[in-house]
Amino acid sequence: MELKKENLLIVDDNFDMLEVLHRNLKAMNFHAFKASTVTEALNILLYTPIDLIITDLQMPGGSGLELLDYVNKNNPGLPSLIITGFPSIESAMQASRLGAQDYLTKPFTNQELKKAVSNILARQHKSPKEKVSKVSKVNSYAGMVGNSKAFENLIDMIERVKNNRATVLITGESGTGKELVARAIHYSGAFAADPFVAVNCAAIPESLIESELFGYVKGAFSGADQTRKGLFESANGGTIFLDEIGTMPHNVQSRLLRVLQEKEIRKIGAQNSDKINLRIIAATNENLPMLITQQKFREDLYYRLNVVALQTVPLRHRKVDIPLLVNAFLKKYGKEYGKPHIAIGEEALDLLVSYSWPGNVRELENAVQRMIIMGNDAIGVNEVNFLQDNIRHDSIENDLLPLQDVEREYILKVLAAVGNNKTKAAEILQINRKTLAAKLGQKL
Ligand SMILES: Nc1ncnc2c1ncn2[C@@H]1O[C@H](COP(=O)(O)OP(=O)(O)OP(=O)(O)O)[C@@H](O)[C@H]1O
Ligand SMILES: [Mg+2]
């Protein structure tokens, strides 16, 4: 059986309809995700790479058009198919303005559904080369290069936040450029002359993180023989970048929440607080809603941090950026390794574009460096092939997990998508609540 990898998201408030669509799409070998409200759909979109949205228009609590509007702004290029029982010219026009590719009127046959879905997906699957030739306006920004729609979108968001102090939460897989984005916001913005302080929350031992961040007064604890400024105070006026925020211990999360609410910090052992005025940028490659359901991350803190949400897109979902990045890295490292004129052959570049790069830009950057060291004047297929053993390209093996882990991860994802509503999660998973609790190793 041919396994199609596309992830489809079905949104309909009618459970029977959802079930039927789910069953039919699964029979066509798609992965199908179900959402019965727009909010649920948005939650799924936040953490699942979706290839096509199939949505109803009229739903209580948020219409399909609102969903399309969101997608248009945040996941441009993501195709959608409208299914509606009440077609109106006006909504059809509005949907197509918002990028909907096709329109099916209920009731429709399985054949019609299949045809509409495969047509849309076929249009999406142009060869990477074809897409590469469509160079868009922005190619580089504050040391970042790219020309994908996702890249343009990111730059657009950076432009919107760089001159104000709104709290920003950057999420994305490892190596996708989260830190680069944080630096771009700071150094291209209005407070660039003020300090930028980067803190890797995962690298500071748990016992020290509180005093590092908030500082302490003399005599606050044994060893505190003089008053010390914390990193918040050092960043005052500018930006503090809290990287790997998901690893922050609970007690420090509570303190951070107070900083966000009161805009003041209190040194450990101090009687009074000091006002601070800075921008907080947090970043993580973890799924924070999932950490919330596991009670590892405070929900109130999440909402305080998530004022502006920026997502860095995995490289495999914006392959058009690969040639540009390769050339930028060739230029940069070519000079560094004494081969300023080194170039790459077309075939070799195609191979690099075809890889999935689970380590994202960082992995590509390392690969280019290795190829420069190995190659002479040009990088050819040989150099790329030599890399093959090292590159974790399309390496399904790396993603393989024990069944139990996959199941658990998926259950947590479903729980996150339904706001931790166990009854609803059990319903979606088609298991009873007791089984759900058992699978999570919890008592009901
Ligand atoms: N658009 C880009 N253009 C040029 N270089 C990039 C781009 N995006 C990322 N990089 C480079 O890729 C590497 C990884 O980026 P960065 O450290 O910002 O990723 P990250 O998302 O913070 O990763 P992690 O989660 O592992 O900390 C860096 O060397 C960065 O310079
Ligand atoms: Mg980082």
pLDDT tens-place values along the chain, 444 residues long: 344 567 899 999 998 999 999 999 988 888 888 999 998 888 788 766 788 999 999 888 888 999 998 888 777 778 999 998 877 777 777 787 777 888 888 889 999 999 999 888 888 765 443 333 333 345 888 889 998 889 989 999 999 899 999 999 999 999 999 999 999 999 999 889 999 999 999 999 888 999 999 999 999 998 899 999 999 999 999 999 999 999 999 999 999 999 999 999 999 999 999 999 999 999 999 999 889 988 999 999 999 999 899 999 999 888 889 999 999 999 999 999 999 889 999 989 988 988 888 899 999 999 999 999 887 788 888 888 877 666 544 444 445 566 777 787 788 888 878 878 889 999 988 899 888 888 887 655
Closest CA to 253 of 310, 206, 294: 206
Q: Which atom of ligand 1 is nearest to the CA of 321?
A: 1
Ligand 1 within 6 A of 365 CB?
Answer: yes
pLDDT of residue 380: 84
Q: Answer yes or no: CATH 1.10.8.60 is held by domain 315-397.
A: yes
pLDDT of residue 129: 38
Q: Where are the domains of the chain?
A: 7-125, 149-311, 315-397, 403-439
d(CA 120, CA 6): 12
Bridge pairing between strands 228-229 and 215-216: antiparallel
Ligand 1 mutation pick, 245, 361, 363, 369, max ligand atoms within 8 A of CB: 361
d(CA 13, CA 389): 48
pLDDT of residue 71: 87
154 close to 140: Cβ distance less than 8 angstroms: no
pLDDT of residue 235: 96
pLDDT of residue 134: 35
Burial (0-12, 13-18, 19+ Cβ within 10 Å), 439: middle
pLDDT of residue 303: 93
pLDDT of residue 412: 83
Ligand 1 within 6 A of 368 CB?
Answer: no
Residue nearest to atom 4 of ligand 1 (CA): 144
Ligand 1 within 6 A of 14 CB?
Answer: no
Q: Answer yes or no: CATH 1.10.10.60 is held by domain 403-439.
A: yes
d(CA 425, CA 431): 9
224 close to 217: Cβ distance less than 8 angstroms: yes
We find that the CATH architecture of domain 7-125 is 3-Layer(aba) Sandwich (3.40)
Q: Answer yes or no: CATH 3.50.50.60 is held by domain 149-311.
A: no
Looking at this protein, which amino acid is placed at residue 120? Answer: I
d(CA 437, CA 444): 6
Domains 7-125 and 315-397 share a fold: no
Ligand 1 within 6 A of 285 CB?
Answer: yes
pLDDT of residue 7: 84
